[in-house]
Structure 1
Amino acid sequence: MTKDITETGVTRRGLLRGLTATAAATVAAGAAALPSSAIKAWDMHTGVLVIGSGAAGVSAAIEARMAGANVLLIESLSQFGGSSAMSGGVVYAGGGTALQRALKVEDSVEQMYRFISLVGGVHPPLDKIQLYCEGSVEHFDWLLAQGIPYTDKLTLAKGLPMGDESLYFSGTEQAWPARELAVPAPRGHVPGIDGMNGGRRLMQALLSQARALGVKLQGRVRAQRLVTESDGRIAGVIVTLDGEERAIAVRRGVVLACGGFIHNRAMLRRYAPQLYDCSVPWGNADDHGDGINMGIGVGAAALRMNEGFAIAPIYPPEYVLSGILVNASGQRFISEESYHGVLGDAIAYHQQGRAWLITDRDSSFTFHQDNFLPVAEANTIGDIAAQLAFPRGALQHTVAYYNLHAANGEDPMFRKSRAYLRPLQGPPYTAWDLSTAQAFFPAHTFGGLHTTVDGEVLNSFDDTIPGLYAAGRNTAGIPTAPYIASGLSVGDCTFFGRRAGRAAAVGVAA
């Protein structure tokens, strides 16, 4: 029997045991398109077919059904919810949402746009970002209407709320240089429930709404290849059900929403080797890139396949941010208070996957944790440097320079906020291994199919592929590397999933 997500919590390490047991897949041999002339008889018919049951797919299904289409949603696994159910359930929203207004938080579309467009990666998708920011207030109202619970509670603590607070600073807004590029505002909107269960709760609400509207959901159905007409229009999909191939005819459109490729080791090695080296492939067990490969199989263009998030979650606790992050040369390379997606990106993509957190007695972890292991401990910085085989004098110079200015409340290099800025003084000193291969270093992919703002899949000439739509991590959407805030991925999935569903419902013919 196919199951929805449950209320049961899960530890990070427990989750990983399940994920790492999943065999890595290679690029699907069946990704190449099949001509409709090869289909002797269709086994099923639907108006809109959505492939994938995460936030993007279910949002697309809801909107397609609301637009009057008959909708079938298929999921390859026995459990619905996708990677979204594993997430914190954060949606990055701003510009004056109902929750921001209730908590008297000042924000604007302009400042939200400046943050996303200026702080993230180079050449961001400005058309999508603009639309996302302008539609953010309405989109949050839509989430409320789906029954997702939010509380009128704000927290200023760094990191995903473990209580029932629903609004927080979910990204790098307050760190330099972001705070000088856009006015910071809390934009992380998370379901108001205890623990890391926001993703489950968000998906429960969306799935419940989809069923109530009459969307047909079917699990244990794996999409294999797209079927095309002679003019290139998508006519249907070949799937595997109960061990047999079935042909599903689609009258209006197919929405690819079956996730990224973090569990496809061959694709990772080819496209995103920095993510390949990260210790924790974070995502649904079936994130093998099937939707991306099916799209490529009918001529779709793929963008930013090297990008993704790499996470170095050194906080909470916040007091460890008074330590310093150094690379293999014993030098600082970033403000330690940066969002953990920005920290992880700097380590994975720009420091060859190697970094250490240097703490003193007051900034060291005061409790047992196994995310980052101590690899050196000594009464002097020089002994720490020797144990780590840093260049002679490099770490000592780094700490001396940092301490000199921190004593005056200054950080000339990275402008760390005064709340975390003080000299490192007082043994024991400890070095914590933050390397991508050894630390708890989750990673997920952001590369995917090239689409319009309405989810229409494009080829390399920017022409649409009729009848084919995509959303979420099947696409190259708003999230880029570095990942600058929690909620941009789920926000992108729900917002553009809705648009793809509406566009697919219009389709070719009813």
Structure 2
Amino acid sequence: MSDHDSDAASSSSRRAFLRRLALASAGAAAGAASFDLAAAAPVQRRETRHWDASTDVLVVGSGAGGIAAAIDARRAGAEVLVLEKFQVPGGSSSISGGVCYLGGGTALQKALGFSDSVEAMHDYIIAASGLHASPEKVQRYCEGSVEHFDWLVGNGVVYAQKFSDEKEISIPDGSLYYSGSERVWPFRERIPPAPRGHVPPSPHLIGGRDLMHALLDAAQRAGVQLRTRQSAERLIVEADGSIAGAMVVDERVPGSPKTLAIRARRGVVLAAGGFIHNREMVQRFAPELYACSAPWGRGGDLGIGILMGMAVGGAVQRMHHGFVVIPIYPPEDIVKGIIVNARGQRFVPEDGYYGLLGHEIAFHQDGRAWLIADDAIAYKWDDFRLPVAATAPSIAELETRLGMPPGALVQSVDYYNAHARDGADPLLHKAAKFVAPLGRAPYTAYDLSVQNVFAPVHTFGGLQTDVDARVIGAFGDPIPGLYAAGRTAASIPVAPYIGSGISVGDASFFGRRAGRHAAQRKV
């Protein structure tokens, strides 16, 4: 076996391990999860003989959406109970980068000398989200962004006054960066770019852990009650269709689960995550995501919140949408390469946010693409993220080894090089700092196909909600007493994903609105 073959085998082994790790993180529960509405069928209130516990607002899930809902519901005067399926609270938010996409002139933006406006933030999110944007929600989110940043800080989330210009979460001690495609064409030409990725400083990319530690501590100080190893599985419905509470499985005593009826006098907030670890649901609703190599999220992302909402008549939206990350950087030099499809043609600006790259490959290129690099920019180590598909002394031979149409890749590289020598990219308008001709042999093709590359993925589809996070029924009216936030709801995050932090930002922002509305609901 050659050194190259040995390296490739080693890289493949590491990728296989990461895929197994991602799949295993769902735990044993994921193996039993399926698209089974019957298992989530509601219980009628008249069939509930007694209540085992009561609260004003019952929150299902302890990620950013659930804990934000709990904090603001409690501060609005409600008694609040949060249920977490697993022993450790925090949900998928706790293993995220901890980025919140915020702008419009936050205190951190101003302190670091950046000018931003609600209008610019709004226009970028709408433009980058494409046809699936939620205009009213985006407007509320942008208008409330400055206050939401202040709320995070007020709840103990720490940010450093340091900007990072690199194309990645600031490492090790920065807190503000360009987390999307704000400086990518065509957005940079139409909308004043500003850095909006706000993240707790972290040398090991564990900002999500720090974010959730702060919010969980704030919830405890506010008087929120949190129970771990308890999971809601069915809603309890009054005769008029309003939500009265939930049937909960209590697994605090190993091997002796109990079923409890918990009353929610004012409302239930479903914030139980998405469904990336419910493989049957993913295969049914989001086949493009099912093909990706690394399902990503905490083990509770089994879709149970979505299923419970559907079972009581809740409408769902954008169930095929999700976030596909193909992290070709860091280092930034690799962005000077070109990304091509099976026809040897470029189709996406390589300096785009890596969620944009993943989206274009997964949804528009049948999940197949290659990154072409010369020796000047190729990785100088065996990078587990990107398997090497082929190396060759010339572009023509590389094209042959990849099985592309004769002359197609050669033509793409020749065209790119002809303009790159002048620092230009008239086809896709890559930023000048990333434009350089490919001319130093050998040439390497990295496999970006979603089944082979390290491609973390999670879901965005979920229950339809309004601006107060009320779940909308199939006939267009809110279901009384039922709310959803985070990835249990279909909200601002869509495909393509506009930038790191819009998911956690959306979850915490609309989680707060859910909590306040539920706490003030008249019953």
* Normalised TM-score (structure 1): 0.96
Q: Unmatched 5+ residue regions in structure 2?
A: 1-13, 252-256
| 1:180 Cα deviation from its structure 2 partner | 2.0
- Distance in 1 (CA, whole Å) between partners of 2:367 and 2:67 is 35
The aligned counterpart of 1:413 is 427
> Structure 1 residue 134 and structure 2 residue 148: aligned?
no
Who is 1:245 aligned against? Answer: 259
SS in 2 for 1:490: helix
Letter in 1 for 2:113: K
SS of aligned partner of 1:120:
helix
**Post-superposition offset of 1:127:** 0.3
Q: Which residue of 2 aligns with 1:254?
A: 268
Q: Which residue of 2 aligns with 1:210?
A: 219
Aligned length: 499
Q: Does 1:60 align with 2:72?
A: no
1:33 maps to a residue whose letter is P
C-alpha separation between the residues in 2 aligned to 1:97 and 1:146?
16
Q: Distance in 2 between matches of 1:495 and 1:503?
A: 13
Secondary structure, aligned partner of 1:107: coil
CA pair 236-12 structure 1, distance change in 2 beyond 3 A = farther
CA distance in 2, matches of 1:229, 1:401: 66
Aligned pairs (5 A) from 1:379-458: 379-458=393-472
Q: Is the 8 A contact 1:167 1:189 kept in 2?
A: yes
**Matches of 2:282 and 2:132, distance apart in 1:** 22
Q: Residue by residue, what CA displacement relative to the aligned partner does 1:313-347 show, whole Å, maximum 9, x if unpaired? A: 00110000111000011110010000000000000
Within 1, Cα distance between the matches of 2:56 and 2:443? 63
Does structure 2 retain, via aligned residues, the 8 Å contact 1:234–1:466? yes
1:192 shift after superposition: 1.9
1:139-167, Cα deviation, whole Å (9 max, x unpaired): 00000000001011001111111211000
The 5-angstrom pairing of residues 275-286 of structure 1 reads 275-286=289-300
Q: After TM superposition, give the deviation of residue 100 of structure 1 in Å.
A: 0.5
Aligned twin of 1:103:
112
The answer to whether structure 1 residue 508 and structure 2 residue 522 are counterparts is yes
The Cα shift of 1:14 comes to 7.9
Q: Write the distance in 2 (CA, Å) between the matches of 1:176 and 1:312.
A: 19
Q: Secondary structure at the match of 2:339?
A: strand
Q: Report whether the alignment pairs 1:37 with 2:46.
A: yes
Partner of 2:156 in structure 1? 147
Instruction: Give the Cα separation in 2 of the matches to 1:13 and 1:431.
Output: 20
Match of 2:492 in 1: 478
Query: Hey, what's the Cα distance between the residues in 1 that align with 2:441 and 2:21?
Result: 40
Which position in structure 1 is the counterpart of 2:101?
92
- Does the aligned pair in 1 maintain the 2:339–2:372 contact within 8 Å? yes
Which AA in structure 2 matches 1:19? A
Q: Distance in 2 between matches of 1:474 and 1:161?
A: 28
Deviations 1:98-124 (A, max 9, x none): 001111101111000000011113131
Q: Tell me the equivalent position of 2:305.
A: 291
The answer to whether 1:20 aligns with 2:23 is yes
Aligned to 2:131, the other structure's residue is in SS state coil
8 Å CA contact 1:51–1:256 kept in 2: the answer is yes
Deviation for aligned residue 1:410: 1.4
Letter of the structure 2 residue corresponding to residue 20 of structure 1: L
**What is the one-letter code of the residue matched to 1:27?**
F
> Deviation at 1:16?
5.5
Counterpart position of 1:181:
190
Cα 1:340–1:72 shift into 2, 3 Å: same
Distance in 2 (alpha carbons) for counterparts of 1:14 and 1:177: 38
Structure 1 SS opposite 2:132? coil
- Change over 3 Å in CA distance of 1:12–1:372 after alignment to 2: closer
Q: Give the CA deviation at 1:94.
A: 0.5
User: Cα deviation per residue 1:349-372 (whole Å; 9 max; x = unaligned)?
Assistant: 000000000000111012231100
Q: 1:374·1:431 contact (CA, 8 Å) conserved in 2?
A: yes
Long gaps (5+) in structure 1: 1-10
Name the SS for the 2:130 alignment partner.
coil
* One-letter amino acid matched to 1:78: Q
Aligned to 1:6: none
**Inter-partner Cα distance in structure 2 for 1:472 and 1:212:** 23
Specify whether residues 268 and 144 from structure 1 end up closer, same or farther in structure 2 by C-alpha distance, changes over 3 A only. same
CA shift for structure 1 position 424: 0.7
Measure, in 2, the Cα distance between the counterparts of 1:183 and 1:140.
Answer: 21
SS at match of 1:122: helix
The answer to whether the Cα contact below 8 Å between 1:358 and 1:429 also exists between their aligned partners in 2 is: yes
The percentage of aligned residue pairs carrying the same residue is 52
Matches of 2:216 and 2:207 in 1, distance apart?
A: 14
- The reply to whether residue 360 of structure 1 matches residue 374 of structure 2 is yes
Name the counterpart of 1:5. none
Could you tell me how far apart the structure 1 residues matched to 2:190 and 2:62 are? 36
1:8 alignment partner in structure 2: none
Distance 1:472 1:131, change over 3 A: same
Decide which of 505, 511, 522 is 1:491's aligned counterpart: 505
Which residue is equivalent to 2:352? 338
